[in-house]
């Protein structure tokens, strides 16, 4: 069966060279995705070309031909071997024209873009202007892209947060402390919600379900008998970050030693989890096969464990819905 698929795709494609790049914030599993795209391209007789520094490298022509050995021993590494950047130049018509000229001069027929909504917006604009085919892979720890159940990097990030919360609880319970722990996620609470439930924190504050300071104080009053309390705060909420929220409630709980931990960019790094390596590998192969079958302007995702393709602008314009049932479950378990 594999041989017949390979023969069909190779016979019916005009694509001979595929460029690939990572853009926006880095995410664990991006290297596994790069490896999958490179080796899938070679499997189908297509030449892979790495583009360094995202859209900036596209504009500057920072390209390198890759082979199977180029991506050896990177599947377990965090970050991205192709580097990443946000490009001011690509936001201009002149910059995009220069990028197109670079692709033409290097004989590149199509692209695989690994990143988030900004990456896909750029690829969509590029298609409209130059009819240049691109397929995207969802590389972001935030898990805020529709069209996939999980983005590349999200599982690793939540596990990193979980380990940090477990360590913080040890010291919190030893000293009668109230800890506010801030996690990343931009404007979404996916990381906070999943890791907070798994860690058994007392309260989870996310942008999708705002809780007033008064409501938070009331909840903490009910938990006064506890030796310690952990509150996880997703960045981007209307009530502010962990430092601001902690300052507002500190005076009301004198029996607690109130502390704040902002986990920051530690959440972006680390060895990618088994799940992130698996979905990155599946998505990378699917991206190459989609391009060779004539697909373009779409993101590869996995929904209900099946590969799906969703148009870029549908992904960008339709926020991923968060599962608020997890909030209810957490409240039940923190009686």
Does some domain include residue 189?
A: yes
Asked, for residue 122, whether it belongs to a domain, the answer is yes
CA distance linking residue 220 with residue 334, whole number of Å? 11
Instruction: Enumerate the β-bridge partners of residue 181.
Output: 232, 261
Work out the mean pLDDT of the chain and round it to a whole number: 92
We report the CATH number of the domain holding residue 94 as 3.40.50.450
Determine contact, residues 64/49, Cβ cutoff 8 Å: yes
pLDDT, average across residues 135-160: 97
Q: Which of 132, 184, 95 is nearest to 17 (CA)?
A: 132
Domain shared by 194 and 293, yes or no = no
61 and 35 inside one domain:
yes
Indicate the DSSP class of residue 22: E
- Has residue 272 got a pLDDT over 60? yes
Q: Which residue has the higher pLDDT, 46 or 5?
A: 46
Q: What is the pLDDT of residue 228?
A: 66
Answer whether residue 332 is part of any domain: no
199 & 237 share domain: yes
Q: Do residue 146 and residue 295 come from a single domain?
A: yes
27-41, 51-65, 166-180, 223-237: lowest mean pLDDT where? 223-237
Q: Quick one: 170 and 204 in the same domain? A: yes
11 & 66 share domain: yes
pLDDT mean over 86-96: 94
**Average pLDDT estimate for 258-278:** 95
Domain count, the chain: 2
Which positions ≥6 away from 156 have C-beta within 8 Å? 27, 28, 29, 78, 141, 270, 271, 272, 273, 276
- Whether 91 and 121 map to the same domain: the answer is yes
Give the number of other Cβ atoms within 10 Å of residue 187's Cβ: 14
Q: Are residues 246 and 304 in the same domain?
A: no
Instruction: List, for residues 284-299, the tens digit of each pLDDT value.
Output: 999 999 999 999 999 9
142 classed as catalytic? yes
- Residue percentage of the chain with pLDDT more than 90: 76
**Cα 82 to Cα 52: distance, rounded to the nearest angstrom:** 5
What pLDDT score was predicted for residue 2? 55
Q: Which residues contact 88 (CB under 8 A, 6 or more apart)?
A: 95
For residue 123, is it within any domain?
yes
Give residue 238's pLDDT.
81
Task: Give residue 189's domain range.
Answer: 154-269
Torsion angles phi and psi, residue 243, rounded to 5: -60, -45
Cα dihedral 278/281/282/283 (nearest 10): 120
**pTM metric for this prediction:** 0.93
Residues forming a β-bridge with 178? 229, 258
pLDDT digits (tens, 9 = 90+) for 297-317: 999 999 999 999 999 999 999
Residue 333 counted as domain residue: no
Q: What is the mean pLDDT of residues 176-195?
A: 92
Query: Rounded CA gap, 164 and 162, in Å?
Result: 5
Is residue 188 over pLDDT 80?
A: yes
Domain with residue 181: its CATH number is 3.40.50.460
Q: Which of 26, 109, 117, 142 is catalytic?
A: 142
Do 159 and 222 lie in one domain? The reply is yes
CA–CA distances in Å: residue 321 to residues 24, 189, 327: 22, 10, 14
Q: Domain check: are 58 and 158 in the same one?
A: no
Q: What is the mean pLDDT of residues 152-157?
A: 98
Same domain, residue pair 264 and 284: no
Backbone angles phi, psi at 17, to 5 degrees: -145, 130
Q: Measuring CA to CA, which residue among 205, 257, 256, 260 is closest to residue 234? A: 205
């Amino acid at each position: 069966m594999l041989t017949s698929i390979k023969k069909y795709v190779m016979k019916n494609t005009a694509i001979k060279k595929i460029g690939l790049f990572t853009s926006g914030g880095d995410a664990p599993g991006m290297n596994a995705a790069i490896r999958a795209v490179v080796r899938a391209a070679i499997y189908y007789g297509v030449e892979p070309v790495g583009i360094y520094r995202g859209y900036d490298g596209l504009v500057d022509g920072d390209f390198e031909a890759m082979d199977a050995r180029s991506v050896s021993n990177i599947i377990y590494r965090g970050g991205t071997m192709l580097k990443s950047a946000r490009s001011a130049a690509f936001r201009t018509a002149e910059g995009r024209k220069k990028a197109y000229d670079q692709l033409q001069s290097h004989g590149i027929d199509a692209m695989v873009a690994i990143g988030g909504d900004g990456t896909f917006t750029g690829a969509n604009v590029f298609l409209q202007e130059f009819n240049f085919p691109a397929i995207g892979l969802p590389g972001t720890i935030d898990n805020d892209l529709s069209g996939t159940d999980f983005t590349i990097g999200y599982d690793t990030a939540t596990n990193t947060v979980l380990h940090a919360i477990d360590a913080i609880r040890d010291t919190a319970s030893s000293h009668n402390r109230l800890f506010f722990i801030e996690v990343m996620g931009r404007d979404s609470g996916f990381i906070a919600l999943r890791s907070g439930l798994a860690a058994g924190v007392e309260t989870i504050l996310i942008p999708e379900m705002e809780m007033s300071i008064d409501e938070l104080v009331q909840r903490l009053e009910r938990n006064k008998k506890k030796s310690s309390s952990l509150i996880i705060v997703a960045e981007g909420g209307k009530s502010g970050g962990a430092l601001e929220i902690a300052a507002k409630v500190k005076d009301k709980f004198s029996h607690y030693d109130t502390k704040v931990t902002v986990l920051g960019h530690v959440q972006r790094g680390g060895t990618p989890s088994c799940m992130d390596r698996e979905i990155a590998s599946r998505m990378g192969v699917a991206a190459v096969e989609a391009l060779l079958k004539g697909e373009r302007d779409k993101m590869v995702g996995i929904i209900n464990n099946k590969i799906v393709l969703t148009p870029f602008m549908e992904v960008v314009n339709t926020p991923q819905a968060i599962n608020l049932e997890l909030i209810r479950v957490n409240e039940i378990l923190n009686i």
